[in-house]
Amino acid sequence: MNIFDSIKKEKIQFKPIKEGEVSIYVCGPTVYDNAHIGHAKSALTFDLLSRVLTEEGYKVTLARNFTDIDDKIINKSKETGKTIKEITNFYIQKYKDEMSALNINEADIEPKATESINAMEKMIQNLIDKDIAYLTSNGDVYFDITKKEEIFKENNDNTINRVEHNPEKRNQKDFALWKGFKEGEPISFKTSFSKGRPGWHIECSAMIEDNFNGTIDIHGGGSDLLFPHHENEAAQTKCATGHKLANYWMHNGMVQINGIKVSKSLGNSFFLKDALEIYDGEILRYYLNSVHYKSDFNFSEEDLISSKKGLDKLYRLKKRIYGSIASKENKGFQIAFMNALSDDLNVSLSLSKIEDMISESNEKLDKSPEDKNLKKEIVSNIKLIERVLGIGFKNPYEYFKIGVDVDFKNKIDSLLKERDIAKKERNFNLADKIRTELNEKGISIMDLPTGTVWEKV
């Protein structure tokens, strides 16, 4: 497996710390609002990474945190009158439901900031004892940036983002590890140094140390987190523990909506829930994963609809061999497919291998439509695609009904029953009339030995 390390800025061969096992930590959402397309892209990236490594025989442990205490959450609580817990529990469950709709596996470990206070307190106190962090009169604790090692290859002028002004700070860019309690805030925690709540950067460092007890293999997240969030995480951990936070760093690109970056400040955030009301989760998954994870992604409905054609081809092949059982994969396809994904998740190349497999399979089926061994091989290839890319798992006949509402489905079923009766009575004019009526409504019907099936065209 080769991956592009965001810090080393080069593609390198991945070697896990412990043979046969891989530890991955991904920065999750701040749960004060609905998930947007950018959240989905990040989650999909590391779901794909986990699936590929699992297919390669590794035992993967994936952690994704929830930031459930933050200025935005506190403001939401004040605006709505709801408790912090009511807000965060609601949005955590919504996030999980929407990720499930995209067929994203749940993380093995899902730590919450509010449940990791002891781990944060321990790390912060360690840094205070070493005079790498310091306490101010109002209970804030800051990390002294002059004490950190240069871990990342480059700095960014924006590393001062989210850094609050405080005249007691030693350096302008010192960042908060802990925020002292302020009158009127709805939540606080008592620690050995002050009453208050954690800063943003300390969460992941403490959670990783608490759950993995040492350096992890891969730390990931969106490219917007590289500076300053991940740089600060790396510095905190190295100073507090003496070991690296992670051996490899991976970052997915940003999402744009019709050329404009997803941003709450710009007011163009595209909520995932809105997309899922229009498009099936599998179709969204296929589209969002069709571009390499490192590239910025321009979301457009026109491209999504065009992208769906590739998924349609897979399901049309699946329809041709539906009911057959799996045997061993076609080794040629299996190797080419996995080699593509093992090269830094080259999903474009893997999709081209799927296209080739579909074309070759259809040609062979045209020549030998009753070849059971061929059908078993194709089923196995599709099973491999299901496991690794997380697509192609539906009943193919049901897949082609996606987008048809319940009332219309009932109307179609009623017309098909009427057509069956007409055929039994040898009233073929009526049967043909019903077929034509359905065709005009965008519905194609197929008469099979097991009965009549239909699909949306």
CATH label of the domain that carries residue 339: 1.20.120.640
Alpha-carbon torsion angle 259, 261, 262, 267, nearest 10: -90
The count of structural domains within the chain is: 3
Q: Are residues 42 and 66 in the same domain?
A: yes
Give domain status of residue 439, yes or no: yes
Question: In terms of domains, do 21 and 98 share one?
Answer: yes
Residue pLDDT, tens place only, 15-28: 999 999 999 999 99
**One domain for residues 440 and 308:** no
User: Minimal CA–CA distance to 317: which of 333, 303, 301?
Assistant: 333
Cα(363)–Cα(285) distance, integer angstroms = 28
Render pLDDT for 394-423 as a digit per residue (tens, 0 to 9).
999 899 999 888 899 999 999 999 999 999
Whether 267 is in a domain gets the answer no
Q: How confident is the model at residue 269 (pLDDT cuts 50, 70, 90)?
A: low
d(CA 454, CA 269): 37
- Strand duo 141-143 + 133-135: pairing: antiparallel
| Final residue in a domain of this structure, among 396, 417, 447 | 396
Burial class (CB in 10 A: 0-12, 13-18, 19+), 129: exposed
Residues 428 and 337 in one domain: no
The CB-side HSE value for 330 (13 A sphere, CA atoms) comes to 21
- Between 123 and 454, residue with greater pLDDT: 123
Based on the fold, state whether residues 6 and 71 are members of the same structural domain: yes
Q: Are residues 224 and 306 in the same domain?
A: no
Residue 139: inside a domain: no
Please indicate, yes or no, whether residues 224 and 103 belong to a single structural domain of this protein: yes
CA 190 to chain centre: 34
Are residues 124 and 247 located together in one domain of the fold? yes
pLDDT tens, 425-456? Answer: 999 999 999 999 999 998 989 887 778 888 88
Verify that 152 and 209 share a domain, yes or no. yes
Same domain, 373 and 420: no
Same domain? 223 vs 369: no
Three-state secondary-structure class, residue 105: coil
CB atoms within 10 A of CB 82: 14
Please give the structure tokens belonging to residue 222. 């969106």
DSSP 107: P
- Give the residue numbers spanning the domain of 24: 2-130+145-159+200-257
Sort strands 260-261 and 246-252 into parallel, antiparallel or unpaired.
Answer: unpaired
Task: Label the pairing between strands 260-261 and 297-299.
Answer: unpaired
What span, in angstroms and rounded, lies between the C-alpha atoms of 427 and 415?
Answer: 14
Two tokens, residue 101: 């709709």
* Dist CA 427 CA 78 (whole Å): 69
Residue 195 within a domain: no
| CA pair distance 307, 287, nearest whole angstrom | 6
pLDDT digits (tens, 9 = 90+) for 47-85: 999 999 999 999 999 999 999 999 999 999 999 999 999
User: Does 305 share its domain with 442?
Assistant: no
Q: Is the Cβ–Cβ distance between 220 and 252 less than 8 Å? A: yes
Q: Do residues 170 and 80 lie in contact, with contact meaning Cβ atoms separated by under 8 Å?
A: no
